[in-house]
Chain A
Amino acid sequence: MKFIAAMVMMLGLILTAPLAWAADPVKIGVMAPVTGQWASEGQDMVNIVKLLAEEVNKNGGAGGHMIEIEVGDDGGDPKVASLAAQRLISSGVVAVIGTYGSAITEATQDIYADDDILQIGTGSTSIRLTEKGLPLFFRTCPRDDDQGKVMAREVAALGFKKAAILHDNSSYAKGLADEVRGIIKDSGVEEVFFDALTPGDRDYTTTLTKIKTKNPDVIIFTGYYPEAGMILRQKKEMGWDVAMIGGDATNNSALVDIAGNASAEGYYFISPPGPSDLTDPMSQAFLAEFRSRYNTEPSSVWSMMAGDAFKVLVAAVENVDKVSAESLAEYLHNDLKDFVGFTGPIAFNAKGDRVGDVYRLYQVDGEGRFVLGQ
């Protein structure tokens, strides 16, 4: 009997051994706007993730699991995205990377949650996405309110004492202005002015004159680059030499075209680093490979966030015993600390938001270039 039992055990081992060693492939979905208004973002996202996946598979996969990538085109449209989500779920993905627009991500959150699929947003900065308490939702991008925190901190760090806050009444700019206003109080910066301008005007000298009477040492402008450029130029024309700091909506080279180099010089703004500012060896090596493969650069940092999402997923797959959306989420929530991503160290809090600073301080130099501060 013992012999037979031993034989059965042996047979069992032989039969199950190949299963244990050659682990099942893991399917990861990429939901990205491959077509539509954000097509360049979406194509970069897909290209980056595919390139990374090839690398992982060449080196034997993640913890023995080969990675399969399934692309779903969301077209930058909520309706198309909901179908893309259903298609990805039907194809058997365990996790989905994406997507870019907040409204698009929002339309798919419930669909993934209903089927217990892990989702990592890459460009969706809207605050409410992680305020719903979905246990399987993460994002590698910062939230809109992070920017306010960093901006307020930089204003204090640069030694400004009296701040004038100017926004343009759009939901983005007003939200950012309110956020900054709430924080600078505590860091010993006095708020001397808080109002909105009318976007699209040609002349802001009246507003500037009004602000000047309050005698601030910095103007915090939370709106977009066209107005920021106009203000910089008209401020220079008035001969008023006051510092100005803006948000990531002013991270556009057209700002300098509007203001001119002389007026734009010294302007600060807060923004996530662009791909060309990712100077660590890992990012440099990857960007070089990306260039040689696709003959172009990733156009913005948001697609690099998709690469980061893929990297943390691979790390999770390597470190869990059994791959499921729950076990991966468990790992990302609790065990992933100071993971080295393209855009800096990555860790997630209980809501699935990324912890740590992504925003950096930039300053415009005399030639109109955007220079990364410290």
Chain B
Amino acid sequence: MAAKIKDINFLIRIPLTLAVIAFFCLPLMGLDPYGLGVLNQVGLYALLALSLNIILGHAGMFHMGHAAFFAVGAYTTAILNTGYGWPILATMPLAGLAAGLFALAVAAPIIHLRGDYLLVVTIGIVEIVRIALVNDIFGLTGGANGLVGIGRPVLFGFKLTRPHHFFYLIWGFTALSMLLFHWLEHSRFGRALNFIREDPVAAEGVGVNTSHYKLMAFVIGAVWAGFVGTIYASQMRTISPNSFNFWESVVLFTIVILGGSGNQKGVLLGAFLVVGLPEVSRGLQESRLLFFGAALIVMMIFRPQGLLPPKGRTYKLPSEVARS
């Protein structure tokens, strides 16, 4: 790490740092609650997309059922909070755990499926979860009406209620997640996932336990989606199965692919474009989705690798750059 930082052009890094600081000062600079609400929504989707990025971007598994794990987390929080009076933040680890265990159970039998076949099964998973929730599974989920009256998160005795409170919770958590995922990317684990994405046979050949790594990628992504479910449930205070439909999974998939799968900055950019842009252009009313769709198509024709594809790994070999 230390060696790498030296190489980085400080001329680029300084404005970037300033931009990040300015971003976190936005609520102080008097951005209205609506603007903050949009940023919060972008943040939630960015978090979900970052967790999907582990599975889709790094391990290269076509997973289009991420909303299912998100739902498990959100419902875990809602049930524990409304039914058993748990404080919101105390439910967060359990929400992650529940989503992780669920991912382990459903992904284990399908982990060997390749490409489109995995995609089809994961679409099935998200539909099964939604229908189970609608049918009030175990009498816990409140059926089609969902659960209401979810509490607010309390952080060190401070109750988060307003959009600018959630802004710091969501974007603070996003920053933390990006840091952790950054370390994960540059660990043995991250390298193994990239190896599997590029050539699973070669990876298997040199002794990488591919199904183990793939499964772990699934579980880590799901745990994070579960955490986000907690934040989402406490922000909306009411959740219903329709918030976790197939379309949500498609949106997340689009964010990762459009932004540049495997690159966290790209995913962040994707979240701003896919979630933020339609909201900003709300003045165009019905036609906005048309423009949005057209923009996506043009993008995919001229830049199929995404807006900000990962740069590839560089290592400090004397006068040589190896592309992994």
> Residues on A close to B: CB < 8 A?
34-35, 73, 77-79, 82-83, 86-87, 89-91, 102-103, 106-107, 110, 114-115, 126, 128, 171
Contacts and interface: CB of A to CB of B under 8 A. Distances in A.
Interface string B162-198: 1100000000000000000000000000000000000
B237 A90 contact: no
Contacts of A79: 41, 236, 243
B243 A90 contact: no
9 closest pairs, A vs B, by CB? Answer: A86-B37, A90-B32, A87-B34, A90-B34, A86-B34, A86-B33, A83-B37, A106-B238, A107-B238
Contacts of A126: 145
Interface residues of B, number: 26
A91 B35 CA distance: 11
Interface string B225-251: 000000000001110101100000000
Contacts of B162: 114
A66 to B, nearest CB: 23
Contacts of A91: 34
Given A83-B38, A89-B34, A106 B148 contact: yes
Interface centre among B145, B162, B285 (most CB of A within 10 A): B145
B37 A82 contact: yes
Contacts of B33: 86, 89-90, 115
Contacts of B38: 83
Interface in B30-52: 32-38, 41
B161 interface: yes
Interface of B: 32-38, 41, 143-146, 148, 161-163, 236-238, 240, 242-243, 279, 282, 285-286
B276 to A, nearest CB: 11
B146 to A, nearest CB: 7
Contact of B41 (A73, A83, A110): A83
Contacts of A110: 237
Contacts, number: 56
Given A83-B37, A83-B38, A107 B237 contact: yes
Contacts of B146: 103
B131 to A, nearest CB: 15
Contacts of B237: 107, 110
Report whether over half of chain A's contact residues are helix, strand or loop; otherwise say mixed. Answer: helix
A330 B38 CA distance: 33
A91 B146 CA distance: 30
Contacts of B243: 77-79
Interface centre among B37, B38, B145, B285 (most CB of A within 10 A): B37
Given A34-B285, A78-B238, A89-B34, 8 more contacts: A35-B286, A73-B282, A78-B236, A83-B41, A89-B33, A103-B146, A107-B238, A171-B143
Contacts of B242: 77, 103
Contacts of B282: 73
Contacts of B37: 82-83, 86-87
Contacts of A106: 148, 238
A34 B286 CA distance: 9
Interface centre among A73, A82, A89 (most CB of B within 10 A): A82
25 contacts: A35-B285, A35-B286, A73-B285, A78-B238, A79-B243, A82-B236, A83-B38, A83-B279, A86-B34, A86-B36, A87-B37, A89-B34, A90-B32, A90-B34, A91-B34, A102-B145, A103-B242, A106-B148, A107-B238, A114-B161, A114-B162, A115-B33, A126-B145, A128-B148, A171-B144
Nearest to A71: B285
A119 to B, nearest CB: 15
Contacts of A82: 37, 236
